[in-house]
Structure 1
Amino acid sequence: MTTSSVSTPLWQPSQARIDASQMTQFRRHINKELCLKLEDYPQLHRWSVDQPELFWRQVWQQFGVLGEMGERGLIHQDKMPGAQFFPDAKLNFAENLLRHSDDRIALVYRDEAGQRQALSYNDLYHQVAKLAHHLKLQGVQVGDRVAAFMPNRIETVVTMLASASIGATFSSCSPDFGLNGVIDRFGQIKPKVLVAASGYRYNGKIIDCRDKVAAIAAGLDALAQLIVVPAFDELPEDIELDGISWSEAVGNGARHIEFAQLPFNHPLYILYSSGTTGKPKCIVHGAGGTLLQHLKEHRLHTDLSRQDVLFYFTTCGWMMWNWLVSGLACGTTLVLFDGSPFHPGPDVLWQLAEQEEVSVFGTSAKYIAALEKAEYHPASQHKLPHIKALLSTGSPLAHEGFDFVYRHIKDDLCLSSISGGTDIVSCFALGNPIKPVYRGQLQCLGLGMDVQVFDDAGKAVTSGKGELVCTTPFPSMPIGFWNDPDNSRYQDAYFNRFDNVWAHGDYAEHTEQGGLIIHGRSDSVLNPGGVRIGTAEIYRQVEKIDAVQESLAVGQNWQDDVRVVLFVVLKPGFELNEELKQQIKLEIRSNTTPRHVPAKIIAVADLPKTLSGKLVEVAVRKVIHGESVNNTDALSNPESLTQFKHLPELER
């Protein structure tokens, strides 16, 4: 285990908080129910992976899942893929999210312009009832697909719940996706109904989507109906779409939902891989596994309850949206935000958090780094007494990001750096309300997740870096890929590296404190002189330097070896002269190893990112080696790739 981590915690929960947490209550319940003596989190985690059937049964029962569990909890336990949880179960995902039909606020919608809309649990139920009735009238049946080309709005949540209530499979893309990117996704799954917004607001501008929506609808040959959600009165009226309005779709008098009772592995969601190296994979997730996993993560690892207000900065094209909306199963109030997190200023999300009394604030590591670079300190501008946890994901949160949160956001909160992905619509490593927080570390491995770190030979290691794997089945594994009848693409994606073991593609390291450090994606690991280096190790050092806005490192094939090339985006007013290059190299060498020091440092205007804000190292590596990058519609700024073509600095 690593000895590089600071052993002094940045935050320690009080004993009162530990005792009141759902994690502690769950452990005590397990001990009483099963006559066990689990004394702490490590023992609870060990039991949860040694006894997966018992553990997931307890999650189902303890959190009152609506449905029939069935006699069998887990079959083919030794097969991955092939294991199946609760093969006799019947349930409905939407029913479990709509169980609280009362006047408590379920959803609050906010946008960057200050518009606000709220919906109670009771009104949400009735909205879903009306849309579900309409979908049935359009012939939508169990197994059909309903797609949403939508911002993060209340109508998107209603569409998902209505689809799930009747057994249709839901899939979404955010409206900032390019036309080809949407067709590449929705075209594979052939939705029967498309719900689409006529426009959205971002960075002070209203973006008209109607031409794009018309082209998407025309490109979906199985589409039976387009439902248009009007965005803004400011849009001109000279473009008409061949569909019906949202108000027409929910204008009927239906007030009751007949929730279809479906198998545990009934397809709930289709999510997509980034698609930056080829056509996006359509990853199919089951209703039961998604529900159980999210209940575990929300209730136990986030300590979410009916009294909480949960916010996550996400779009509908990122799996964190799916994770966010599952908070309805806890009876929590969810805050949906659409727009730029820096418009009209860096305070927009913190005004939201203050005004809506957010208690769990979720965002990306990139956003925290951007706040730090902008020198915006929420604690000095806002009263945030309700925030008890801050979640960060999307990329590894740098050690300095941990310091920034505790110095400039709030010193008494559980900072949970979490990691998982679209592939599992959940997390392998998460926060823990009963454990301390250490710089640079994800607090703990998720309950029920037998996460290990393997060396290249497939041997589990407790010290040093290696491949993050999961060695036993878990319920939120995909039920497969769309149009993959023999499961060959699914097998290739996760199980070909190590037999009968899920290889996630992260480069990771255990810590002495029982946590985890993620060093980056395995496919972006650098390998100079045969030494494996995670890109996050370099970014952490480079982005300490005031002149550097952000950075990206790749390995370039050079003279029968690999050399490290670092691209930097500089703040306005700085230039990449020899003095700055030497400062960057010295910072890296002093805090890592000589192997980490880049052979080349090159300034660029922008770095390519996915629509969820993740750096795309693989695409840059392809470009500098003269290879083509497929499906650039998966990028928020595909034009940035042209900077990396035929760079003279890389030819010498």
Structure 2
Amino acid sequence: MPDPARVQQTRIVRFARWLVEHGRAQLDDVTDYRALHAWSVASPGPFWAAVADFFGVDWQSRPHTALAERRMPGAVWFPGGTLNFGQHMLRAGQDDQDAVILVAETGERSSITFAALREQAAAVAGHLRALGVRPGDRVAAYLPNCVEGVVAFVATAMVGAVWAQTGLDYAAPAAADRMGQLSPRVLIAGSGYRFGGKVHDRRGDAQQLRELLPGLRHTITVPTAGLAHPAAGADTSTWAQALAAEPDPRGVAVDFDHPLWVLFTSGTTGKPKGIVHGHGGVLLEQLVSPGLHMDLHAGDVFFWYTTPNWMMWNAQICGLLHGATTVLYDGRPTYPAPDALWRLVADLGVTVFGTSPGYLEASQRAGLTPGKDLDLAALRLVGVTGSVLPATANEWFREHVSARVQLGSMSGGTDIVGIFVASAPTTPVYDGEISAPALGAAVQVWNGDGAPAPAGTPGEMVITEPMPSMPLRFWDDPDGRKLRDTYFDMFPGVWRHGDLTAITERGTVVILGRSDATINRHGVRLGSAEIYAAISDLPQVADALLVGVEEADGGYWMPLFVVPDGDHTPADLVSRIRRRIAERASPRHVPDDVIVVPGLPHTKTGKRLEVPVKRILQGADPERVIDRSAVDDPAALDTLIASVRAAKRREP
């Protein structure tokens, strides 16, 4: 439960008190999160206008109103308002305060102060303008986690150009599948990255990518991971030359919905879709999600383990909006030891740490006791997203990390570069549940007929009111058809997110997995997350993938693929798993087959490939179902497909 004394000092309570004092909302208790949320979704225009005023958005031209057209898709937010996101990124921190700290898995560190960030962003903005980059042009980045990437993004935003990025772990053709859609004018290319104790040289891929990007006019080379690029040519410049350019600190005034960046879907099941977000919508979402839900403020040290391929890279650098120091990590999270990230948190005095359920489960399996072995006194919040957080992870966290630190599970997505459901400093945490819908997110659970599902009953997560960070559009979708088909096909005018979800009697949220991967056996629907939760604390299980397959003859086959952790015989492991699922989930949902494999593939952001594997099991051609370049371990994908075929051959 939240500490009442601490709650009074939080920004979310200050915001609620400000609303009352300024006559913006009627709230009997400023610490009552449910009341604040109810007002935020009943009055979306006034809520988001209040966010802009409370955080002091620097309008270069003030908008006529907050929400001119309250519809989905096509809501019109803050018409007439102009601003610049990059300018907001530079205004909060003290000159001598570290803005960004980069930590390599070797332990090497580099950093940049807010003063230096302002100077370097102005120089790179001047260099981009000298190269002819104008508002609306695209700047593509092929970089690892690095300080230069943050500087380049801020400079791009200041110019009004559109940012897009992939990490160096994408091969050149895969990176081109994404950024080539945008025909970027400038490419900013790194030379290598660190992972698992090795330096991966990507200079050849960077050169190949240049040749694959249509319309590219110039490349800025950045030495990363200690590797130097070849000498610059007529159409290239070095990072040093960019920093030496005539600085231009102006942040061009752009419309509220002017494109800021393009984020790409995982691309595992088809060509990656480019999701376009705007300056104003991202700004307001990133004021609310870290500023109110995480209570992020000046002086905090903010570290979220992520890669440039995931929207959390974009979200974590938005800590700069609040004057927080942002920490980047270049490397494997478990190298050189499973406690690598916990040691970083202790060494840097991290106050807000973001990670995945997978890392917490790996810490549990490794027998780590960070709360006992390390000084985590500065830590206030551990945010968790990327997949469903099982209840056993909460139990381990309280016992072995801290009973004082809030473990805040949240879920949102690349779609809104923000959150739909989350914790807040004023909400209690219940094991296996997410505390509440996020402020401004009108989350409901509907059945297939479009009626609200009873409390505790799984259904489709829907959003019934517009949010300013919803996509402006998909790239290369001139009539909006792809966007409508993705979010509004099932319930016209209402956003369907694709998560199988339940809202409990107390208003907490339980996400059970993707709704298109729901297990439906013997007429009983079950989310795959419930099976994963049942076996999450088995130390013998390192990873698992469950699918339910409707077969052509009317049958239903439900295999569970398992990666063992340690030296365990398959027969012993299978019996343990079957017994645990029957006891903790449902006897009806014990898998037909438990197939032991050496490894499982995931998306580049670590998500399970339930839907593609299901389609392969139904007979689809793997080459048509899944793009190997979007998978973290193609060899594991090959092994999985071979295991699937072997299992099918064993069937009577």
Same fold by TM-score greater than 0.5: yes
**343, 346, 349: which one aligns with 1:354:** 346
1:520-599 residue pairs with structure 2 within 5 A? 520-558=513-551, 559-577=553-571, 579-599=572-592
Could you tell me how far 1:33 is from its partner in structure 2? 1.4
Q: Which moved more, 1:137-146 or 1:36-45?
A: 36-45
Aligned length: 638
Report if the CA contact (8 A) 1:141-1:166 is conserved: yes
For the residues of structure 1 that align with 2:192 and 2:204, how far apart are their CA atoms? 10
**639, 646, 649: which one aligns with 1:648:** 646
Which residue does 1:4 correspond to in 2? none
- Change over 3 Å in CA distance of 1:33–1:213 after alignment to 2: same
Which residue does 2:355 correspond to in 1? 363
Residue identity opposite 1:333 in structure 2: T
For the residues of structure 2 that align with 1:566 and 1:129, how far apart are their CA atoms? 53
Q: Which moved more, 1:456-465 or 1:97-106?
A: 97-106
Report if the CA contact (8 A) 2:221-2:237 is conserved: yes
1:22-33 residue pairs with structure 2 within 5 A? 22-33=11-22
Report if the CA contact (8 A) 2:281-2:470 is conserved: yes
Could you tell me how far 1:581 is from its partner in structure 2? 2.2
**309, 317, 321: which one aligns with 1:329:** 321
SS of the counterpart of 2:499?
Answer: strand
1:2-13 residue pairs with structure 2 within 5 A? 12-13=1-2
Could you tell me how far 1:592 is from its partner in structure 2? 1.7
Residue identity opposite 2:561 in structure 1: F
Could you tell me how far 1:380 is from its partner in structure 2? 2.2
For the residues of structure 2 that align with 1:612 and 1:208, how far apart are their CA atoms? 21
> Which stretches in structure 1 are left out of the alignment for 5+ residues?
1-11
Asked if 1:484 is matched to 2:480, the reply is no
Could you tell me how far 1:38 is from its partner in structure 2? 3.8
For the residues of structure 2 that align with 1:383 and 1:20, how far apart are their CA atoms? 24
Asked if 1:186 is matched to 2:179, the reply is yes
- Change over 3 Å in CA distance of 1:436–1:229 after alignment to 2: same
SS of the counterpart of 1:170?
Answer: strand
For the residues of structure 1 that align with 2:416 and 2:91, how far apart are their CA atoms? 25
- Change over 3 Å in CA distance of 1:83–1:236 after alignment to 2: closer
Q: Which moved more, 1:592-601 or 1:183-192?
A: 592-601
Could you tell me how far 1:71 is from its partner in structure 2? 1.9
Asked if 1:41 is matched to 2:33, the reply is yes
1:291-302 residue pairs with structure 2 within 5 A? 291-302=283-294
Report if the CA contact (8 A) 2:339-2:363 is conserved: no
Report if the CA contact (8 A) 1:210-1:241 is conserved: no
- Change over 3 Å in CA distance of 1:319–1:403 after alignment to 2: same
For the residues of structure 1 that align with 2:412 and 2:180, how far apart are their CA atoms? 27
Which residue does 2:58 correspond to in 1? 66
Report if the CA contact (8 A) 2:456-2:502 is conserved: yes
For the residues of structure 1 that align with 2:232 and 2:323, how far apart are their CA atoms? 40
Which residue does 2:96 correspond to in 1? 103
SS of the counterpart of 2:544?
Answer: strand
Report if the CA contact (8 A) 1:91-1:261 is conserved: yes
SS of the counterpart of 2:215?
Answer: coil
Could you tell me how far 1:24 is from its partner in structure 2? 1.1
**604, 615, 618: which one aligns with 1:625:** 618
Q: Which moved more, 1:469-478 or 1:506-515?
A: 506-515
SS of the counterpart of 1:552?
Answer: strand
Residue-by-residue CA offset, 1:52-107 (whole Å, 9 max, x unaligned): 11111110000011113312110221x21011110111000011111136222111
Report if the CA contact (8 A) 2:192-2:227 is conserved: no
SS of the counterpart of 1:102?
Answer: coil
For the residues of structure 2 that align with 1:289 and 1:556, how far apart are their CA atoms? 39
Q: Specify which structure has the bigger relative contact order, considering alpha-carbon pairs within 8 angstroms and separated by 6 or more residues.
A: 1
Which residue does 1:409 correspond to in 2? 401
Q: Which moved more, 1:492-501 or 1:174-183?
A: 174-183
Could you tell me how far 1:176 is from its partner in structure 2? 0.8
For the residues of structure 2 that align with 1:227 and 1:622, how far apart are their CA atoms? 41
Could you tell me how far 1:545 is from its partner in structure 2? 2.2
Residue identity opposite 1:576 in structure 2: P
Report if the CA contact (8 A) 1:528-1:561 is conserved: no
> Which stretches in structure 2 are left out of the alignment for 5+ residues?
none
Residue-by-residue CA offset, 1:26-53 (whole Å, 9 max, x unaligned): 1111122126234211111111111111
For the residues of structure 2 that align with 1:251 and 1:304, how far apart are their CA atoms? 33
**395, 410, 416: which one aligns with 1:418:** 410
Residue-by-residue CA offset, 1:578-604 (whole Å, 9 max, x unaligned): x43232112111112223211111111
Which residue does 2:137 correspond to in 1? 144
1:372-387 residue pairs with structure 2 within 5 A? 372-387=364-379
Could you tell me how far 1:647 is from its partner in structure 2? 2.6
SS of the counterpart of 1:134?
Answer: helix
Report if the CA contact (8 A) 1:177-1:636 is conserved: no
1:447-486 residue pairs with structure 2 within 5 A? 447-461=439-453, 462-486=455-479
**310, 314, 317: which one aligns with 2:306:** 314
Q: Which moved more, 1:114-123 or 1:274-283?
A: 114-123
Could you tell me how far 1:129 is from its partner in structure 2? 0.4
Report if the CA contact (8 A) 2:604-2:632 is conserved: yes
Could you tell me how far 1:342 is from its partner in structure 2? 1.1
Could you tell me how far 1:575 is from its partner in structure 2? 2.1
Q: Which moved more, 1:471-480 or 1:630-639?
A: 630-639
Report if the CA contact (8 A) 1:279-1:630 is conserved: no
Report if the CA contact (8 A) 2:27-2:36 is conserved: no
Which residue does 1:196 correspond to in 2? 189
For the residues of structure 1 that align with 2:324 and 2:221, how far apart are their CA atoms? 28
- Change over 3 Å in CA distance of 1:496–1:236 after alignment to 2: closer
SS of the counterpart of 1:532?
Answer: strand
Which residue does 1:20 correspond to in 2? 9
For the residues of structure 1 that align with 2:350 and 2:45, how far apart are their CA atoms? 35
Residue identity opposite 2:637 in structure 1: L
For the residues of structure 2 that align with 1:594 and 1:486, how far apart are their CA atoms? 48
For the residues of structure 2 that align with 1:329 and 1:233, how far apart are their CA atoms? 30
**505, 510, 513: which one aligns with 1:512:** 505
Report if the CA contact (8 A) 1:623-1:641 is conserved: no
For the residues of structure 1 that align with 2:506 and 2:358, how far apart are their CA atoms? 25
For the residues of structure 1 that align with 2:558 and 2:337, how far apart are their CA atoms? 36
For the residues of structure 1 that align with 2:41 and 2:67, how far apart are their CA atoms? 13
Which residue does 1:285 correspond to in 2? 277
For the residues of structure 1 that align with 2:372 and 2:392, how far apart are their CA atoms? 19
1:166-181 residue pairs with structure 2 within 5 A? 166-181=159-174
Which residue does 1:8 correspond to in 2? none
For the residues of structure 2 that align with 1:458 and 1:105, how far apart are their CA atoms? 49
Residue-by-residue CA offset, 1:245-266 (whole Å, 9 max, x unaligned): 2111111242x41111111101
Could you tell me how far 1:243 is from its partner in structure 2? 2.7
For the residues of structure 2 that align with 1:584 and 1:437, how far apart are their CA atoms? 28
- Change over 3 Å in CA distance of 1:437–1:232 after alignment to 2: closer
Residue-by-residue CA offset, 1:495-515 (whole Å, 9 max, x unaligned): 001111000011111123322
For the residues of structure 2 that align with 1:619 and 1:637, how far apart are their CA atoms? 15
SS of the counterpart of 1:647?
Answer: helix
Could you tell me how far 1:15 is from its partner in structure 2? 1.0
Residue identity opposite 1:62 in structure 2: F
For the residues of structure 2 that align with 1:505 and 1:70, how far apart are their CA atoms? 33
Could you tell me how far 1:516 is from its partner in structure 2? 0.7
Could you tell me how far 1:110 is from its partner in structure 2? 0.8
Could you tell me how far 1:622 is from its partner in structure 2? 2.4
Residue identity opposite 2:626 in structure 1: N
1:339-350 residue pairs with structure 2 within 5 A? 339-350=331-342
Report if the CA contact (8 A) 2:103-2:327 is conserved: yes
- Change over 3 Å in CA distance of 1:630–1:242 after alignment to 2: farther
Residue identity opposite 1:469 in structure 2: V
**56, 75, 82: which one aligns with 1:83:** 75
Could you tell me how far 1:406 is from its partner in structure 2? 1.3
Could you tell me how far 1:239 is from its partner in structure 2? 12
**614, 636, 643: which one aligns with 2:632:** 636
Q: Which moved more, 1:179-188 or 1:526-535?
A: 526-535
Q: Which moved more, 1:583-592 or 1:34-43?
A: 34-43
**392, 398, 410: which one aligns with 2:384:** 392
